[in-house]
Structure 1
Amino acid sequence: MAGPGTTGGQRAAVGTVEIRELECFLVLAEELHFGRTGERLYVSQSRVSQLIRSLEQRIGARLVDRTSRRVRLTRLGEDFLTALRPAYTALRDTVDNARAAASGLSGPLRIGFQGVVGYGFMDVIGEFEDRFPESATRIAELPLSDPFGPLHRDEVDIAVVLLPVAEPALVLGPVFSRQPQYLAVSRRHPFADRTGLDAEDLATAPLVGIAAPAPDYWREAQAPTRTPSGTPIPQGPEVSTLQEGLSLVAANRGVMLLCHPTTEHHQRRDVAYVSVTGLPDSALGLVWRGGRETAWVRAFADAVADALD
């Protein structure tokens, strides 16, 4: 809906009063000048006079006193202005919200994340909110053992998850934060003093796995059962949360593969992180449901693609 400073488009009636007449009155109350009011509304000065006269006729009393020297509101005009402004604003907001809903730009954007949101991702959210202040983003942590469930259950609109993603109902958008993998080990473990490890070293220690309902292919990627050469990797306990995994690592019950951002944000005196070569880099991806691709989702995916690589 057009505001008082715009052309307003087609005329529409509210009761027996025209929206265009109300817009004209609101602008005239600010300008107190017929010429400037016409300029803001992109109409002639005579058209402004016509709209104000029509409004006064509908109400049955003068709202504006005008002489050759000045324009001012009558007492009734001032009272009418006081009542009209909030009502007009509410009406305009109602129409604007309906338009936003129709285009998909309404309500909060619910963003799920897995692990640690870092490496500039929070900056992207801030920039997105600055660009779309009406977006009202909400952030929720995804369970380690259920990275895709909140999307399938419509608990979040878009999610940051560890790759791979092979869900038929989900769309994989921008991929970012490619990082070398690290192995979390107890400070008492022989690996704790190593400066680096090879993927084949995983065959010598039980590897903490991820519990269901995460899909098997995703669990295998986060906790492989074989080294790149095919040597079996001993399987340790399965966990549902990162904290469970780190607690087991600290107790020397197993070792755990983690992405680099997670190691940086979970420094512990009882856990050491050692880089591992010979494994694919970890990476994060932005994911959403194919049938729920709203305008907010598209706009946020574009913002991520523009800011991160």
Structure 2
Amino acid sequence: MLERLELEAFLMLAEELHFGRTAERLHVTTARISQTIKKLERQIGTPLFERNSRHVGLTEAGQRLRDDLRPAYEQIEASLEKATNAARGVRNVLQVGFLGAAAGQLIVQAAQLFGRRHPGWRAQPRELQIVDGLRRLRAGDVDLLVVSLPHNEPDMVTGPVLFSETRVLGVSSRHPLARRDSVSLEDLTAVRMLQVAEAFPDYWRADRTPALTPEGRSVAPGPQFETLQEALALIDAGEGAFVMGAQVSRFYARPGVVYVPFSDAPPLEWVPTWLVTNTAPRIQAFNQAAQDITTRVSLDISR
């Protein structure tokens, strides 16, 4: 039977694909995480991660275990949270999902303001992965989700833009483009563009991983990824590049990855979205809190 640390360490490492960041999030040492994973692999009888000095990745057995364990773990966490909220006298909880650290920074501050304005209510920030954000919103795991445009889902409503950021190209530090002060959309022909797994709609994928430049030149596709950490590992290894927001230079600094700003690409804009069928007043109340936070506090999304 898995101990709690084994379960959390495995799922966190499966998400981060980095022992140091996993240790930081769980408030233990990197050595403790390494020992815990090795113990788990001995217990199961097969490697769960492939690791070397530059890369950590899930094995096929690790992927299966992650997919089997995550739903059960999330259900347990949700039950514990409900019990905790009941003990604290919090009657209602608004689950607010976010993708990326800058959105998370905003959501945490907005949640605090929302709680002060609406006694008996609590907004719970929930970090989601890029490939399952829309699915989790549709499944009811979160009530609200902060996403980047474009966003055009018929069953969802979008609120006003909360913040925007410059687009940058994440590229290996060994690539010639890494030595440039800026890049253009035409420069995408010089790299392979990493592909987001199929969970995201075609219009979003076309915006972030275009097949053609504005002048109609072909852009070569690269490997697929499911999480930002997977994308960064692939970029570090020279397997491709990806278009991201400038927040990565602050929150996701990595020695082998350089973030070069675009000179001719529009900024990335972030908005709240929720299901058309969810007409609860608390949605608008939280959106108002988020808007008020953005007018009062700088998110400091890039250095």
TM-score (norm 2): 0.64
The equivalent residue for 1:11 is none
List gaps (5 residues or longer) in structure 2: 1-85, 296-303
Of residues 99, 108, 127 in structure 2, which corresponds to 1:122? Answer: 108
1:229 aligned partner, one-letter code = E
Q: Distance in 1 between matches of 2:161 and 2:195?
A: 24
Do structure 1's residue 217 and structure 2's residue 190 form an aligned pair?
A: no
Q: Is 1:196 equivalent to 2:174 in the alignment?
A: no
Alpha-carbon displacement from aligned partner over 1:106-163 (angstroms, at most 9, x marks no partner):
5200000011225644322221122224222212122212331111111100000111
Q: Which amino acid aligns with 2:248?
A: T
What amino acid sits opposite 1:181 in the alignment?
R
Matches within 5 A, 1:72-91: none
Report the residue type matching 1:186 in the other structure: S
- Report the secondary structure of 1:243's partner residue: helix
State the alpha-carbon separation in 2 of the partners of residues 133 and 268 from structure 1. 41
Kindly indicate whether the alpha-carbon contact (under 8 Å) linking 2:111 and 2:122 is maintained by their aligned counterparts in 1. Answer: no
Q: 1:271 to 1:120 in 2, by over 3 A?
A: same
Q: After TM superposition, list the pairs within 5 Å mapping 1:24-173 onto structure 2.
A: 107-116=92-101, 117=103, 120-173=106-159
Alpha-carbon distance between aligned partners in 2 of 1:159 and 1:169, rounded to the nearest angstrom: 13
How far has the Cα of 1:243 moved from its partner?
A: 0.5
**Residue 301 (1) aligns with residue 303 (2):** no
Aligned to 2:173: 187
Runs (4+) of structure 1 exceeding 6 A deviation are none
Quick check: 1:146–1:212 contact (8 Å CA) kept in 2? no
The answer to whether residue 215 in structure 2 is matched with residue 242 in structure 1 is: no
C-alpha deviation, 1:214, in angstroms: 1.1
Distance 1:106 1:285 in 2: 27
Amino acid at match of 1:110: Q
- For the Cα contact (< 8 Å) 1:175–1:285, is it kept in 2? yes
> By how many angstroms is 1:307 displaced?
3.3
2:277 pairs, out of 291, 296, 300, with 291
Q: Displacement, 1:263? A: 3.0
Structure 2 residue 230 is matched with structure 1 residue 208: no
Letter in 1 for 2:179: D
Structure 2 residue aligned with 1:274: 260
TM-score relative to the length of structure 1: 0.63
CA RMSD of aligned residues (A): 1.9
- Correspondence for 2:242 among 256, 264, 275: 256
% same residue: 32
Q: Which has the larger radius of gyration?
A: 1
Q: Partner amino acid for 1:265?
A: F
Whether the aligned pair in 2 keeps the contact of 1:209 and 1:239 (CA below 8 Å) is: yes
Aligned residue type for 1:263? S
Give unpaired runs (5+ residues) of structure 1: 1-96, 98-104
Q: Per-residue deviation at 1:268? A: 0.8
The whole-number CA distance in structure 1 between the counterparts of 2:124 and 2:292 is 21
1:1-16 equivalence runs, <5 A: none
